[in-house]
Structure 1
């Protein structure tokens, strides 16, 4: 209730009369019913709403805020917890931005470690009934960012967890009515659904993301991710349409981004051609050379695996083996189990048994690093 634009405006006014009138209207209550809820007389509520009674007593304001689920600071009631939470709201955006930078720099584990405490506190605040717009906005962005970061570091069998977090972020975006946030949440959730093998659902979300994105970069990113999902689905028509739109937007972009750049376009195009049974076209495209672009480290790993898949389809086992070995080395450095699993599968299909075995060894090492540490006997005794 407190997340709508109208409610946000009433809360920002900090005018108790305005807030009470809005609360009654949204909950279809008359003054007598609101008075009963608060434990007051109807006349007392009427005097507050008409401005004939000004409430300066902090205990009364605290009681009203607690009963109606209002943020304490909107009624001028502050305490240590409120001040602490206000600071978290103020710096929460910076935490999310820094985590995104870390993820894009190949440090997704660090991103998860930065985001999790923020998300946990926001979830607790939300569970306590505090659903004001600022809290929900930050919670939605934090959920989405956490899901994407988890989707980078989790192995395939656990990617559903990443999709659940981006889905929860999307649920907030749907409620808030922020079109830019909604477009991004649709892109991120759609991509995590694809990675979790819910490809048809991914295509539906990404198709909606394309139509919801109002800026060229967002639309280009949505088309790129839709191209990938369509390729994995084996839908030739949708893939060709999406990759064509992606190419057109890319040509008009002055400043490339993480998803809208020539390097990423080529990788998505190559993988889609292979997935839709056009390996010879993919081989010709790959022969044109690798474009130079500033991309996240994980994209170099993704590209190496895709290159190996194209080479294997063309019967060039030696080149494929080199590409897969370099992919596995880089993936271990940046803790990317999902990409190692891709490399292991590609190696298995190509008969590169030793590469597949090396990849599985790396997966075991990463799993040991990322697994929660178990307390020693001495630690258990001390606690």
Structure 2
């Protein structure tokens, strides 16, 4: 007999109350809580475990204890809980620790690959990890560390897909970061929740769901607990607000970002270089081309943390502004170099930016369209 499935049951094992019960390793407490979650009378729990009702009653009241390892493993299996909750260590727990260690390594390697301009390699690393974790969770293994890992893996996969998918498929990347946010929201981990909000908001922006993007990123900024968290939310909020034409929100975010440059840690996402690019792009997007040109002329040099993608993004933004100013020669040189970099690192979304920016630059426009067609064919294959 299996208990009838009920929506949200797995999440109850992640609550502080449930975690406290599990840490006590009290069989009586676990059985009582399990019955409460599933709405089971003792008779149905007894049927599930293969014991008599009177036996289960004595275990719950503490008048009967179970110390046999085989029996404890049997109960753990029937309740779909890890054996260590009952003080038993077995191969399943060794596998659990291996999954966590493997998953952490994959996340680190995927992040290094993505920041090194190899987002497609990051996708290849993350797909199997996400599939393995989702199979584990669907099988009833809902330990907190597995769920945290699943949230981060889903978000990481969405971010990597957001680099390698063309515009028309970017909603897929946003869906994956959204799936990660769904898990993070339920776990009560503020840092993880803010991290997922930031990245989901950014993928919504890229998918042109701008109102939702500004909402998520505003919430990420407001939930931030440290200057570092706030800085990464603010830089993404400025990008989304600029794209949405929300001039006041954009200006406020850029101003705050400039202040945070003095107090927050420099990362691949938040740095003087990325802040400058976001500032220039937002000014252009809100119709202030003259001011964008002025800011463009004071570009900081790339730093150690400046990734290849940010250099390509910045070059495209500069080319867009130069083209809008009418400096077609400089725009053509800048955008041509950006196209070649985007091809090398398989960034179709960035090539599509060049296609849109080069309508008055026939040579660049033609090269960008050809490059985009090649990348689309490669992705489809």
Residue 370 of structure 1 aligns to a residue whose secondary structure is: helix
Q: Are 1:228 and 1:239, in contact at CA under 8 Å, matched by a contact in 2?
A: yes
What CA distance in whole angstroms lies between the structure 2 residues aligned with 1:35 and 1:315?
79
Cα distance in 2, alignment partners of residues 174 and 319 from structure 1: 47
Query: Number of paired residues?
Result: 369
Alignment RMSD, CA only? Answer: 1.9
Measured against aligned partners, the alpha-carbon deviations of 1:324-371 in whole angstroms (never above 9, x if no partner) come to: 0010011111111100110111012xx112211111221222234333
Aligned residue number for residue 355 of structure 1: 364
Question: Which residues of 2 match residues 1-383 of structure 1 at below 5 A?
Answer: 1-29=12-40, 31-75=42-86, 83-253=94-264, 255-294=265-304, 295-348=306-359, 351-372=360-381
Q: Secondary structure at the match of 1:251?
A: coil
Contact 1:31-1:46 within 8 A present in 2 as well: yes
Question: In the TM superposition, what is the alpha-carbon distance from 1:252 to its structure 2 partner?
Answer: 2.0
Moved more, 300-309 or 21-30: 21-30
| Structure 1 position 29, deviation (Å) | 4.6
Structure 1 121/289 Cα, relative in aligned 2: closer, same or farther at 3 Å? Answer: closer
How far, CA to CA, are the matches of 2:248 and 2:272 in structure 1?
22
**Distance (Å, rounded) in 2 between the aligned partners of 1:192 and 1:289:** 26
TM-score by length of structure 2 reads 0.91
Deviations 1:174-201 (Å, cap 9, x if unpaired)?
1001000100100000000010110000
> What are structure 2's unaligned runs of at least 5 residues?
1-11
Contact kept? 1:217, 1:257, Cα under 8 Å: no
8 Å CA contact 2:104, 2:149 repeated in 1:
yes
Deviations 1:10-31 (A, max 9, x none): 3344332232233234445554
Deviates more, 1:295-304 or 1:243-252: 243-252
